[in-house]
């Protein structure tokens, strides 16, 4: 009962207080709490609010945190613009407190706007290199988010006013985004507060709107 | 049974692989093919490029060249001005030349090096020389097209017999600096702006087709103070994202501040010019145009009630009434 209460309080608290970050948590704390609920908010790349759950699982004696989260674009709580992610993060190598971590994420995204509706399946691979202590961490991160396959349906408005012969269907490699910046976090009891900030570029290193990402998140371990 | 757990996932993967997939960058998928990709489109070649162009009327009549908005728009939204309204068409008395400017609409795409204000001026001058080599032309420009017309008059006043400027944008950089925050709704919580940001994960702007397509995201909701019709929206073919960006940037200094001035020689242009504004239009409407008519020695303003920035599309008959009266006066030498 106590565990259920802490989960409930954690979800509610994090949903109320926290704001977005992808799941870059302190790998040095994976041995402390095996479960985590978290919430994130930020410009990533639109204003997105997410909630998620993670569990640390040992695989051949090595800790991996598996997480799942869902998020929606917070502007007008537009649930047509959403994403769901399944991710794993682990420490790849370390020397004292210096660690190289890696995460792999499967992403499903949806959107509906004035010109099209789309459902997309993609992936994100991110690495970080930084100092991970039990109570805090700071690291540089570099990652690549790829829209692998996207089903796209053009809107009636677009067809009527611009291009009636636009092709609906599955599109391969619609986009890819590099992101690079800083991630940091601090532990306050069982709560971990983290943030990320950095820049975004397309896979051909062209500019994006917005050119930056910035998000904060809070997780509660139990 | 344990091994069958992977079956649904495997089937889903095979199903996706079996689907016929497309590339967003291929012509005709997201945005229409241009004249460089579809030989059946009406086009002319000039200045090392290929332009989408249509004409209406008798070539021996005085020529009116239409200049569409943007930069980056196309002439589709101006075509109603060529239609017959109340028993009259401009094509009865004039030879109408509609064209998509370099890199826009259905004209051939280009990269930054040839998307400059100077190239645009050369294109228009070549077009004028081709269709009206022996007498000055008339210009009808809308929004950016009104700015472009002014730039051309400023440079080649002897080649322009008159102009109708429909809701022209700022004619100089100082005015553009004053208005730039009002042109788009840049509220960070605006849904259209978040749609733009979110869309970049699905289609990243790494080729012209994707750039042009995503440029459309701001068209419907991004300019609320323009008060354009949602019932009868002005149509287009394709927004030229590269043209929109690079022509705009060519009017700015290295810090992104507008520094162009299309009015330096207007004092010498004593020919009457007609401005038209929509009464609902806030940013480029009546108040701005009352200031801008003063940049010409002999200009007047007509305000059309019940329309926003897209006045030429939604109030075509009223606009044509003013245009026809102006052109008749010009023919009469008044």
B31-47 residue pLDDT tens: 999 999 999 999 999 99
- The pLDDT tens digits for B253-281 are 999 999 999 999 999 999 999 999 999 99
Which residues, other chains included, contact B46 with Cβ-Cβ below 8 Å and sequence gap of 6+?
A: B123, B126, B127, B130
pLDDT at B195: 87
- The pLDDT tens digits for B111-131 are 999 999 999 999 999 999 999
**Partner-chain residue, chosen from B194, B213, B237, that has the shortest CB–CB distance to A47:** B194
Least confident of A203-212, B212-221, B284-293, B300-309: B212-221
Q: Is B229 on the interface with A (CB under 8 A)?
A: no
- Evaluate if residue B295 carries a pLDDT over 90: yes
Chain A, nearest residue to B189 by Cα: A75
B290, B301 contact by CB (below 8 A) = yes
Q: Say if the Cβ atoms of B16 and A73 lie within 8 Å.
A: no
Q: Is A215 helix (H, G, I), strand (E, B) or coil?
A: strand
* Domain spans, chain A: 2-221
pLDDT at B262: 98
Residues of A in contact with B30 (CB under 8 A): 163, 166-167
Q: Which helix (H) or strand (E) holds B247?
A: helix B241-250
Average pLDDT of the residues in B195-204: 91
Q: Which helix (H) or strand (E) holds B214?
A: helix B208-215
Q: Say if the Cβ atoms of A114 and B219 lie within 8 Å.
A: yes
Average pLDDT of the residues in B236-240: 96
Pick the CATH number of A2-221 from 2.40.128, 1.10.287, 1.25.40, 1.25.10: 2.40.128
The Cα–Cα gap between A116 and A156 comes to 9
Distances (CA, A) of B95 to A34, B138, B142: 78, 10, 18
Q: Say if the Cβ atoms of B21 and A114 lie within 8 Å.
A: no
**Token reading at A47:** 């204003």
Residues of A in contact with B202 (CB under 8 A): 109, 111, 118, 120, 147, 150, 152, 174-175
pTM of this structure: 0.88
Q: How far is B43 from chain A (nearest CA, A)?
A: 19
What domains appear along chain B, each with residue ranges and CATH number?
A: 43-185+226-331 (3.40.50.1820)
**Token reading at A46:** 């639109």
pLDDT at B181: 87
- Evaluate if residue B86 carries a pLDDT over 70: yes
Identify the burial level of A29 via C-beta atoms within 10 angstroms of its C-beta, where 0-12 means exposed, 13-18 middle and 19 or more buried. Answer: buried
Full DSSP string of B85-97:
BTTB-GGGTSEEE
Residues of B in contact with A147 (CB under 8 A): 201-204
More confident residue, B175 or B333: B175
The residue ranges of chain A whose pLDDT is under 70 are 1-24
pLDDT at A53: 95
Full DSSP string of B45-90:
EETTEEEEEEEES-TTSPEEEEE-STTT--GGGGGGGGS-BTTB-G
Q: Is A172 on the interface with B (CB under 8 A)?
A: yes
What was the ipTM of the complex prediction?
0.90
Token pair 């008519």: residue:
B293
Which residues, other chains included, contact B26 with Cβ-Cβ below 8 Å and sequence gap of 6+?
A: B209
pLDDT at A31: 79
**Token reading at A126:** 């991110």
């Amino acid at each position: 009962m106590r565990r259920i209460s802490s989960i409930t309080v954690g979800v509610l608290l994090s949903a109320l207080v926290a704001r977005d970050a992808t799941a870059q948590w302190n790998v040095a704390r994976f041995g402390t709490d095996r479960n985590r609920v978290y919430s994130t908010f930020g410009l990533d790349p639109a204003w997105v609010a997410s909630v998620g759950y993670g569990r640390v699982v040992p695989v051949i004696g090595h800790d991996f945190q598996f997480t799942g989260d869902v998020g929606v674009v917070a502007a007008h709580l537009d649930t047509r613009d959403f994403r769901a992610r399944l991710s794993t993060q682990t420490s790849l190598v370390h020397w004292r407190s210096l660690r190289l971590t890696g995460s792999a994420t499967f992403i499903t995204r949806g959107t509906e706007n004035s010109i099209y509706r789309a459902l997309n399946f993609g992936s994100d691979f991110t690495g970080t290199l930084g100092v991970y202590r039990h109570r805090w961490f700071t690291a540089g991160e570099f990652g690549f988010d790829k829209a692998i396959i996207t089903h796209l349906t053009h809107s009636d408005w677009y067809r009527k006013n611009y291009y009636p012969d636009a092709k609906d269907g599955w599109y391969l490699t619609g986009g890819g985004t590099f992101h690079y910046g800083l991630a940091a976090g601090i532990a306050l009891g069982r709560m971990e507060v983290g943030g990320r900030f950095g820049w975004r570029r397309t896979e051909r290193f062209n500019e994006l709107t917005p050119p930056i990402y910035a998000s904060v998140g809070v997780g509660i371990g139990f | 049974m344990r091994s069958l757990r992977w079956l649904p996932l495997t089937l889903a993967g095979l199903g996706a692989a079996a689907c016929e997939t497309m590339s967003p960058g291929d012509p005709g998928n997201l945005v229409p093919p241009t004249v460089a990709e579809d030989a059946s489109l009406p086009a002319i070649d000039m200045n090392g490029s290929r332009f989408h162009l249509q004409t209406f009327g008798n070539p021996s009549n005085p020529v009116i060249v239409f200049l569409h908005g943007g930069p980056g728009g196309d002439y589709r939204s101006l075509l109603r001005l060529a239609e017959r309204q109340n028993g009259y068409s401009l094509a009865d008395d004039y030879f109408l030349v509609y064209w998509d400017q370099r890199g826009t609409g259905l004209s051939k795409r280009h990269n930054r090096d040839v998307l400059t204000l100077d190239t645009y001026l050369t294109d228009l001058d070549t077009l004028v020389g081709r269709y009206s080599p022996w007498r000055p032309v008339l210009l009808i420009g809308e929004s950016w097209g009104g700015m472009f017309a002014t730039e051309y008059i400023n440079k080649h006043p002897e080649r322009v017999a008159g102009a109708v400027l429909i809701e022209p944008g700022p004619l100089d950089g100082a005015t553009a600096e004053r208005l730039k925050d009002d042109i788009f709704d840049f509220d960070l919580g605006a849904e259209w702006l978040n749609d733009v940001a979110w869309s970049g994960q699905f289609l990243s702007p790494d080729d012209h087709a994707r750039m042009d397509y995503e440029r459309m995201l701001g068209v419907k909701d991004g300019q609320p103070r323009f008060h354009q019709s949602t019932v009868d929206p002005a149509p287009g073919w394709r927004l030229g994202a590269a043209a929109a960006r690079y022509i705009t940037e060519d009017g700015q200094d290295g810090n992104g501040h507008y520094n162009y001035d299309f009015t330096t020689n207007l004092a010498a242009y004593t020919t009457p010019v007609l401005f038209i504004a929509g009464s609902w239009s806030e940013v480029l409407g009546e108040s701005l145009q009352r200031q801008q008519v003063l940049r010409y020695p002999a200009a007047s303003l007509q305000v059309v009630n019940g329309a926003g920035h897209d006045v030429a599309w939604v109030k075509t008959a009223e606009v044509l009434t003013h245009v026809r009266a102006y052109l008749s006066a010009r023919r009469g030498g008044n």
